Chain A
Amino acid sequence: MEYLPLFSVTIPLLAAGIMLLCCRSELAIKLLALLGSALSFAASAGMLPALAAGQILGTRQGYLSFPLHIYFQADGVSIFFAVIFSFCFFLAIIYSFSYMRHGHAKLRYYALLLVAQSAILGVVMTSSLVGLFLFFELLAVVSYLLVIHEEDAVAMSAGAKYLFMTIVAGFAIFFGLVVTYFLAGRLDYQVGGYVAASPLAGAALFAFLIGCGLKAGMFPLHIWLADAHPAAPAPVSALLSGCMIKTGAYGLIRVMHYVYTPQAMQAVSYDQVLLWLAVATIFLGSALALQQDHLKRRLAYSSVAQIGYVLLGIALMSEQALQGALFHVFSHALMKGTLFFCAGAIVTQTRKQYVSQLQGIGRQLPVIMYSFALAAVTIVGIPPFNAFFSKWHLAAASLAAGQGSLVAVLVISSLLNALYYFPIVVNAFFGNEAEENKFGTDRLPDEIPRSMLWSTALLALLCVLFAFVQPHWPMELARRIAAGIF
Chain B
Amino acid sequence: MEAGVFIWQPQAAVGLLLVATLLVWLRGEKARGSSCLTLFALAGAFTILATLFPWVGAGEILRQTYPILPPFGFSFQADLLSVSLALLFLFSGFVIALYIAAYPLKHDERRFKTAFLFIMACASGVVLAGDLLSLFLFFEAMSLAFFLLIIHNRTREAVAATYKFIYLTVGGSMCYFIALAIVFVQANSFAWTAGGFMSAASLSALAFWGFVAAFGMKAGMVPLHFWLAAAYGQAPPPAAALSSVIMMKTGAYGMARIFHHVFGLEMLSRQGWDILILILALFTILYGSFCAFAERDLLRRLAYSSMAQLGYILFGLALLNYAALVGGFFHFLAHGMMKGTMLLCAGAIVSKTGKRKIADLAGIAWQMPLTMACFSLAALTAVGLPPMNVFVVKWYLSLGALSAGQPLLILFLLASSLLNAAYYLPIVFRAYFGAENRDLHASLVWDRLPWPMTVGMLLFAAGCIVFSLGPVNLPLELTKRIATGFLY
Contacts and interface: CB of A to CB of B under 8 A. Distances in A.
A179 interface: yes
Contacts of B395: 66-67, 178
Contacts of B384: 174
Contacts of A179: 402, 407
Contacts of B429: 148, 156, 160
Interface stretch (A133-141, A354-362, A365-373): A133-141
A134 B386 contact: yes
Nearest to B394: A174
Contact of A151 (B392, B417, B437): B437
B353 interface: no
B471 A62 contact: yes
Contacts of A156: 429, 433-435
Contacts of A175: 398, 410-411, 414
B421 A151 contact: no
Given A178-B395, A179-B402, A200-B407, A64 B418 contact: no
B54 interface: no
Contacts of B81: none
A104 B392 contact: no
Contacts of A163: 425
B30 interface: no
A82 to B, nearest CB: 21
A358 to B, nearest CB: 28
Nearest to A130: B386
Contacts of A63: 471
Contact of B435 (A105, A152, A168, A181): A152
Interface in A45-104: 62-67, 69, 104
A436 B2 CA distance: 95
A182 B399 contact: yes
Contacts of B396: 67
Nearest to A181: B399
A151 B435 contact: yes
Interface string B391-405: 110111011001100
B434 A69 contact: no
Contacts of A462: none
Contacts of B476: 65, 67
Interface string B458-488: 0000000000111111001000000000000
A133 B386 CA distance: 8
B422 A137 contact: no
Interface of B is mostly: helix
B380 interface: yes
Contacts of A152: 435
Please classify how large the interface on chain B is, using the bins under 10, 10 to 19, 20 to 34, 35 or more: 35 or more
Nearest to A133: B386
A175 B408 CA distance: 10
Given A163-B425, A179-B402, A66 B383 contact: no
B357 interface: no
Nearest to A171: B414
B145 to A, nearest CB: 37
B433 A65 contact: no
B434 A66 contact: no
Interface string B349-383: 00000000000000000000000000000001001
B418 A171 contact: yes
B387 A66 contact: yes
Interface in A138-185: 141, 148, 151-153, 156, 160, 163-164, 167-168, 170-171, 174-175, 178-179, 181-182
Interface string B416-433: 011001100110010001
B174 interface: no
Interface string B132-169: 00000000000000000000000000000000000000
A35 interface: no
A203 interface: yes
A96 to B, nearest CB: 19
A104 B402 contact: no
A170 B472 CA distance: 25
Contact of A66 (B402, B426, B433, B468): B468
Contacts of A141: 380, 385
A168 B433 CA distance: 22
B402 A178 contact: yes
B441 interface: yes
Interface in A403-419: none
B471 A66 contact: no
Nearest to A156: B434
A134 B410 contact: no
B382 to A, nearest CB: 12
Q: Which of A65, A133, A160, A200 has the most CB of B within 10 A?
A: A65
B457 to A, nearest CB: 20
A456 B386 CA distance: 36
Nearest to B476: A67
B296 interface: no
Contact of B417 (A67, A171, A200): A171
A105 B432 CA distance: 12
B410 A178 contact: yes
Interface in A239-254: none
A151 B429 CA distance: 10
Contacts of B425: 163
Interface string B155-195: 00000000000000000000000000000000000000000
A130 B395 CA distance: 11
Contact of B391 (A66, A151, A182): A66
Nearest to A168: B418
Contacts of B27: none
Interface in A298-315: none
A196 to B, nearest CB: 16
Contacts of A105: 441
Contacts of B418: 164, 167-168, 171
A39 to B, nearest CB: 24
B327 to A, nearest CB: 10
Given A66-B468, A141-B380, A164-B421, A104 B386 contact: no
Given A134-B387, A151-B433, A151-B437, A65 B402 contact: no
Contacts of B403: 182
Contacts of B435: 151-153, 156
Nearest to A152: B435
Nearest to B438: A151
Nearest to A177: B395
B205 to A, nearest CB: 34
A181 B470 CA distance: 22
Contact of A64 (B398, B410, B441, B468): B468
Contacts of B399: 178, 181-182
A167 B414 CA distance: 10
B421 A167 contact: yes
A445 to B, nearest CB: 33
Contacts of A167: 383, 418, 421
A67 B473 contact: yes
Contacts of A130: 386
Contacts of A134: 386-387
Contact of A65 (B385, B394, B438, B470): B470
Contacts of B421: 164, 167
B470 to A, nearest CB: 7
24 contacts: A62-B471, A63-B471, A64-B468, A65-B470, A65-B471, A66-B391, A66-B392, A66-B468, A67-B392, A67-B476, A69-B471, A134-B386, A141-B380, A151-B433, A151-B437, A151-B438, A152-B435, A156-B429, A156-B434, A164-B418, A174-B394, A174-B414, A175-B411, A179-B407
Given A134-B387, A171-B418, A182-B403, 5 more contacts: A62-B471, A66-B386, A105-B441, A151-B433, A160-B429
Interface of B: 380, 383-388, 391-392, 394-396, 398-399, 402-403, 407, 410-411, 414, 417-418, 421-422, 425-426, 429, 433-435, 437-438, 441, 468-473, 476
Closest 10 CB pairs of A and B: A66-B387, A66-B468, A65-B473, A178-B398, A182-B402, A171-B414, A134-B386, A137-B385, A66-B386, A64-B387
